[in-house]
Amino acid sequence: IGSERKQLVLNGWKHMGGYDLDTGKELWKLEGSGDIPVPRPVIAHELIFLTSAHGGPARIYAISVDAEGELTLKPDGKNLVWSDRRFGAYMQSPFVYGDELYVCRDNGVITCWDAKTGTQHYRHRLSAGVGYSSSGVAADDKLYYASEEGDVHVVKAGKEYELLHINEMGETCMATPAITGGLLLIRTRSQLVAIGSVN
């Protein structure tokens, strides 16, 4: 990612921080996050993206990979580059695809930001009345989101929302889809489905 720093990033109970991998020294910390953070940190464009939505506001943070010291919840453009206090996620990990950061919440609402600046491009609900426990994934300029009811939504990647298709798997789907070797792997309650092109 360009930085010389090797660090472990933790999204912990009401505390987020970066630690030097060689010495364990705390490099930076941010107090006031949620009390049960589940989503994993994501690193792209020299930024660390962290989110949490339990036990407080549903925040998302974009922290510089070179951040130092005790950060405040108010962005300073240097250490905490940008943040949003309303559209973070409880279960789902964010991901960056191209220049955009995407988060899909439990209620199926996707928010898309410019990853570098925090400018929000759109917010859109995939389907009403269903839950989303798994994280989204992306490949081939498409985003894939699996609902708990087993519908896999295919959304065009980019600054404008466009639903391309909904694939019905026919049973509960709680796991995040995986992409490898040209295959999209979807784990439902009783099946592992591999989707790919046939040559």
In this model, does residue 54 exceed pLDDT 90? no
Q: Given this model, what pLDDT does residue 129 score?
A: 65
Question: For the residues 110-132, what does the mean pLDDT come to?
Answer: 91
The rounded Cα 64 to chain-centroid distance in angstroms is 17
Query: Which amino acid would we find at residue 67?
Result: A
Buried b (16+ CB within 10 A) or exposed e, 12-26: eeeebbbbeeeeeee
Could you read off the pLDDT of 7-44 as tens digits, one per residue?
777 665 567 788 888 888 999 988 866 666 777 889 99
* H/E run at residue 173: none
Are 194 and 187 spatial neighbours (Cβ–Cβ below 8 Å)? no
Could you read off the pLDDT of 72-96 as tens digits, one per residue?
888 888 999 999 888 877 778 899 9
pTM over 0.75: yes
Give the integer Cα–Cα distance in Å for 59 and 73: 10
Instruction: Find the length of the chain.
Output: 199
